[in-house]
Amino acid sequence: MSVGTRVAPAPTVTPNKAYETSLAQYDRAVSHLDLPAGLIEYMRLPKREYTVNFPVRMDNGDVKMFTGYRVHHNLVLGPSKGGIRYAPHVDLNEVRALAMWMTWKCALVGLPYGGAKGGVICDPKKLSDKENEGLTRRFASELVPIISPHSDIPAPDMGTNSQTMAWIMDTYSMTVGYSVPAVVTGKPINIGGSEGREEATGRGVIIVMEEALKRRGRIDRDEIRIAIQGFGNVGAHAALYASELGYKVVAVTDVSGGAYNPDGLDVEALFNFTRAARNNLLKDYASDDVDIIENDELFGVECDVFIPAALEDQVHEGNADDIKASLVVEGANGPTTPGGDDILRDRGIVVVPDILANAGGVTVSYFEWVQDLQNFFWDEVEIMRQLRRILLKAYDKVVAVAEDKDIDMRMAAQIHAINRVAQATLTRGFYP
Ligand code: GLU
């Protein structure tokens, strides 16, 4: 056996803006609630954090070490739920932030879950399918002690997909000796996945966007111009659904840059192009109807709705003033820094926050888990009906809190979610 060099840096706790952002949001929100100091500290901290260093045999025969994390932030309302991210920038603080946001997201939309998140430091684009499978199966086997349908249920996130979930489900099932579909969500449909899960996050973003527009009297879809940062699972499905409904998607970007047409893009063509080959990038899309733009240019694009659907820390003091939209709908988790938030608020731009706007994904994950546990499957019409019902109910709640306390939607969403976890904790009491 030849042993190669490490591809993953040693696990360190590096300063990460996402964690700072999640804590700053939390501190702001709890200042509106009358809760005991000990309870505030309890909900601020992750319950448990798991770090694992594990070997993977690469195609050339070398063994390389990788580092992965799973953070369980809070389990008061039920088993923890949240995705697994594969990206070179993953670190423990990012996973902590994302786990905390999952707790508030599930609480906000009324799901019987706590929050978790996982990640592996790797570049999935540079792994062959075989290496990706080996990495996933070994990471899954390391996770076996801390995941199950009743304790912690992973799902896809950036850099992972339904195939990743299939490998995790299979590895877990082989270990326990029987098939356990409900241990992960976001699976392929032929092994217990749900109709509509793949599209759910992006569609949910558009459902809440439409609600926000309606409440502002903007109902002519063909007059609404949308710019989207990110063309992964969330951004691409938001773009597809928006254009299917008749909205004008004028700009979309990915890591490479993006496509722009002030009269509206052919989103389906862009989708087919980027999905035709594994690493097809938007900047390489050639068409007379499209101008290729740099990533920074997206912020200055004339539009009515801006949808950050890529990563954390994207809208900040350096670019929040450039945004032309009157509405920002957060497809990504934590895309706006507190400084960016202040600028948008001062400019009168409404922000529909991440924990509401992108909750469609985990909501359909919940439907998938329920269907798996009951071995009774619903059709897509039923999924979409229930998804809309849950998201709009949460939207109403957020608006009610925002109006009552005269605060923005992010603060209102966080206050409502945190209070739900707080009250459940007080009802259960502290053990022993
Ligand atoms: N990764 C998604 C999110 O950030 C989905 C999590 C899930 O379905 O459990 O919401």
Domain layout of the chain by residue ranges: 46-190, 200-357
Among 85, 158, 162, 201, which is best to mutate for testing ligand 1, by the most ligand atoms less than 8 A from CB? 201
Structure tokens at 88: 């070179």
Amino acid 15: pLDDT: 61
pLDDT confidence tier of residue 219, bands split at 50, 70 and 90: confident
CA of 186 to the centre of ligand 1 (A): 9
Give nearest CA residue, ligand 1 atom 9: 82
List pLDDT tens digits, range 171-210: 999 999 999 999 999 999 999 999 999 999 999 999 999 9
Domain at 46-190, CATH homologous superfamily: Leucine Dehydrogenase, chain A, domain 1 (3.40.50.10860)
Q: Is the peptide bond before 15 cis (omega within 30 degrees of 0)?
A: no
Q: Choose, from 47, 81, 105, 117, the residue flagged as catalytic.
A: 117
81 in contact with ligand 1, CB cutoff 6 A: yes
CA of 80 to the centre of ligand 1 (A): 11
Domain 200-357, what fold? Rossmann fold (3.40.50)
333 in contact with ligand 1, CB cutoff 6 A: yes
Model confidence at 5: pLDDT above 60: no
Measure the CA–CA gap between 24 and 295, rounded to whole angstroms.
27
CA of 115 to the centre of ligand 1 (A): 10
CA proximity to 172, closest of 151, 195, 196, 199: 151
Is it true that 46-190 and 200-357 share their CATH fold? Answer: yes
The fraction of the chain above a pLDDT of 70, given in percent, is 97
pTM: 0.95
Amino acid 3: pLDDT: 44
Asked if 47 is an active-site residue, the reply is: no
For 336, which DSSP code? B
Question: Look-up: residue for tokens 């209070």?
Answer: 419
List pLDDT tens digits, range 72-112: 999 999 999 999 999 999 999 999 999 999 999 999 999 99
Model confidence at 265: pLDDT above 60: yes
CA of 2 to the centre of ligand 1 (A): 37
For 10, which DSSP code? P
Residue 169, exposed/middle/buried by CB under 10 A (0-12, 13-18, 19+)?
buried
List pLDDT tens digits, range 399-410: 999 999 999 999
Amino acid 48: pLDDT: 98
